[in-house]
Structure 1
Amino acid sequence: MADDEVQGMQAGQSGLIVKVPQAEPLVRAWRDRLDPSARVGVPAHVTVLFPFLDASRIDEDVCAAISEVVGRQPSFEARFDRCGRFPGVLYLAPEPDTGFRRLTEALVERWPENPPFGGQFDDVVPHLTLAQGQNEAVVEKAEADLLTALPIVAQVSSVDLLVHDGTRWRQRASFPLGSTRLR
């Protein structure tokens, strides 16, 4: 979740993410230092849909619908072996990114009133943010360090719902993907 999103967070905001726990040992120290979302409870992840519904609208029926949509998508493997950049952002790029794109598309099809990142981007590029709003020398150092330890391989088997409580992001639910694996 982007820096400007983190600073403007309000209680009740929510998002759907894929946690990448396999990345934590490598990226945690850099993210804690260079990614404001890490300091407010967001784990290493790839965003699937943000912003999502206000927490006050998320009830059993919404959770059942998320479960149904996510459960129709097969689990898959993603390999993170290179860094990428957006303006002011350093990230790890998953390959293939097809599974993440399919998750986003399926959820947006069900909740079209919630386009990814509020509709800011024509093409939503799946990514694991490492640094935001940092000086270029710091970003280059982080990238050089991270590249020596890649690749990271992750088995994607669930989507997590995070809700902002006004101070931190907290996991509210987890939804398993289907069992068929895509590669």
Structure 2
Amino acid sequence: MERPPVTLRNFEESDVDDFMEWATDEEVYRYSVRDTFKSREEAEDYIKNVAIGHPWWKAICVEGRAVGAISLYRALGNSSCRAEVGYMVARKWWGKGVASQAVNLCLSTAFTDLPDLERIEALVEPENVGSQKVLEKAGFVKEALFRKYCIAKGKTRDFYSYRFLSEDLPPSM
């Protein structure tokens, strides 16, 4: 299977229609801690006031169209050496290598884009096998199972913790 080439770029207000394709899909948000977007206005507001102003919140693009999102949220204070990665991709792009390429692109620039960053973490529910495979392909290491880690959508959930360290980058990145 040929993988479509993926790029990352900053979100633009004009991405709202593409954004709505996955941001309103319950299956895409199945493992997300937040609910789907309920209206175009809510999505427009989010893109304008959260995504565009965030230091590392990118559109995952195929042929220039936003088919998903990937973000890094840097910890504060004494924990600022680490960031948490999160990503999602429109369902029609699942199983086509889009998320894997996006995570690899993120890793290839994150440690340069965010000075003094040494660790990228990801939290994944045990049932989310697809996301675990994406992370493992990218070189993330599963470190722990956090039982009853947080309440999301009214349910206490378990999460695996994955990590990628700056020294794990291959020399070509």
Same fold by TM-score greater than 0.5: no
**Structure ranking higher on relative contact order (CA contacts 8 Å, 6+ apart):** 1
- Relative to the length of structure 2, the TM-score reads 0.26
- Relative to the length of structure 1, the TM-score reads 0.25
